[in-house]
């Protein structure tokens, strides 16, 4: 592992030293999501070296030299994770590649899945590719644990209820008795596995073979390649009208479904007490203390409780 010889400092101090704002103001801007580091919203306490692409309120702060654009197509093996947090004990994709230049993955591919993932040092394209509202295609080859039926294909195409939402309509084609191809334009957490599970199927293997115009092709497992100039040009054309606003978990927390059936009406409240209404209940007799100084066994008066059926799903 190479030793990092560059001195790090807290991001708020870096912004303050750059004359952008005070440290306190920097903290406020970071909390509001107005500071991006390599295209990703910064977090409180984050440290930087100044070699990153730092944007504050839409203004580029860092003055690093323009670096060579890098975009790699990687064939991720199973067992490798795409997150880089310390809590992940498995080897992550950055450690696995050990690329000589600082790069990071565009999106994720879960630990049990394999196939194409893009890695780059260009923060401006990350959100453009990931943002669900941009409707960029991702294609997968999937094997399940039992024969695929026409009903299964139709349900997958039309939308499946998962994570309190219904998935968007998508392209699904049968490729074998147990295999199918699916093209998604959204990226809910473990979406394909959850869709299959909701229809009583289990995913045996899942491989991503395409992201937009970038194909996995015959790239061997664990290998990577740089995208070609032609692929870069086509990708930039496809991203021209795409928003690069941060995702802010828009796909992790989709809109909730309306309940299937309306809840039963609440019972009408009792009428207010009126002096004109006679009290027909007899006075409750007072219970004297026993001679031994103990109360006799208490009599518990219970009023029958009306029960109401719970609405669907509860």
- Residues with a catalytic annotation lie at 110
Q: Assign residue 58 a region (left: φ > 0; alpha: ψ between -120 and 50; beta: otherwise).
A: left
Q: CB under 8 Å to 58, separation ≥6 — which residues?
A: 34
Report the C-alpha gap between 116 and 223 in whole angstroms: 10
* Residue 189, token pair as written in the block: 């957490």
Distance of CA 138 to the CA centre of its chain: 16
Distance of CA 69 to the CA centre of its chain: 27
Local structure of 83: helix, strand or coil = coil
Which stretches of the chain are assigned E, i.e. beta strand? 9-10, 35-37, 40-41, 47-48, 54-56, 59-60, 71-76, 104-105, 114-120, 138-144, 161-162, 165-166, 171-174, 179-184, 203-211, 214-215, 224-226
Nearest to 107 by CA among 4, 211, 31: 211
* Residue 87, token pair as written in the block: 């809590």
The position carrying tokens 């927390």 is 253
Local structure of 135: helix, strand or coil = coil
Regarding beta strands 179-184 and 171-174, do their DSSP bridges make them parallel or antiparallel, or are they unpaired? antiparallel
């Amino acid at each position: 592992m190479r030793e990092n010889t560059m001195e790090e400092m807290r991001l708020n101090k870096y912004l303050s030293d750059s004359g952008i704002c005070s440290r306190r103001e920097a903290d406020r801007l970071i909390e509001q999501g107005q500071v991006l580091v390599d295209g990703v919203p910064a977090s409180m306490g984050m440290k930087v070296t100044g070699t990153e692409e730092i944007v504050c309120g839409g203004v580029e702060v860092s003055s690093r030299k323009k670096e060579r654009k890098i975009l790699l197509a990687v064939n991720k093996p199973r067992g490798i994770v795409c997150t880089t947090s310390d809590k992940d004990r498995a080897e992550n994709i950055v450690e696995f590649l050990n690329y000589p230049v600082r790069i990071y993955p565009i999106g994720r591919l879960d630990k049990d899945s394999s196939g194409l993932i893009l890695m780059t040092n260009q923060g401006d394209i990350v959100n453009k590719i990931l943002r669900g509202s941009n409707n960029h295609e991702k294609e997968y080859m999937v094997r399940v644990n039992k024969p695929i039926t026409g009903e299964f294909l139709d349900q997958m195409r039309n939308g499946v209820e998962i994570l309190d939402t219904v998935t968007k309509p998508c392209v699904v084609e049968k490729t074998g008795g147990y295999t199918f191809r699916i093209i998604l334009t959204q990226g809910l957490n473990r979406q394909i596995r959850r869709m299959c599970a909701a229809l009583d199927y289990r995913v045996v293997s899942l491989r991503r073979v395409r992201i937009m115009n970038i194909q996995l092709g015959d790239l061997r497992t664990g290998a990577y390649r740089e995208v070609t100039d032609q692929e870069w040009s086509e990708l930039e054309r496809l991203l021209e009208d795409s928003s690069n606003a941060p995702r802010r978990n828009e796909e992790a927390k989709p809109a909730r479904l309306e309940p299937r059936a309306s809840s039963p009406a609440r019972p009408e409240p009792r009428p207010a007490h009126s002096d004109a209404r006679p009290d027909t209940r007899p006075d409750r007799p007072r219970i004297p203390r026993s001679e031994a100084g103990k109360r006799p066994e208490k009599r518990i008066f219970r009023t029958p409780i009306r029960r109401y059926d719970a609405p669907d799903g509860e």
